[in-house]
Amino acid sequence: MASRQCSKSTCARPAAATLTYVYADSTVVVGQLSANAEPHSYDLCAPHAEGFTAPRGWDVVHIHQDLVDPGPSPDDLDALARAVREAGAPRVAVMPPAPVASEPRRGHLRVVNSDS
């Protein structure tokens, strides 16, 4: 996908902000959508980011911005184009290289009894 979705389980809207918990300060920061998905952060759509309330006793810091889906970046579009080209490229079977004349051939040796 070119853009990430809201982390809320029933929401299919595109993410517009990133929510991060700062446990040491009992603070929640809701700010600009991070460039990459972070494992300990949550991506939220604009309505969920604007309506977010923190647990009791916690502070919420909203970093004010225009909460809009930035859409795909040029890097996303380039990666998508490369993936489509690779998927549409004809598959070429790779044949093992032919043995070089200096290499011994396998299967040409036989056992000879030394008692004869």
The answer to whether position 78 is within a domain reads: no
The answer to whether position 110 is within a domain reads: no
Residue numbers of the domain that contains 36: 17-62
Residue 79 has pLDDT above 80, yes or no: no
Number of domains forming the structure of the chain? 1
The answer to whether position 51 is within a domain reads: yes
Residue 2 has pLDDT above 50, yes or no: no
Which residues on adjacent β-strands are paired with residue 18? 31, 43
Residue 17 has pLDDT above 80, yes or no: yes
The answer to whether position 57 is within a domain reads: yes
Reported pTM: 0.53
The answer to whether position 10 is within a domain reads: no
Residue 85 near residue 77 (C-beta atoms within 8 A): no
The answer to whether position 23 is within a domain reads: yes
Residue 71 near residue 80 (C-beta atoms within 8 A): no
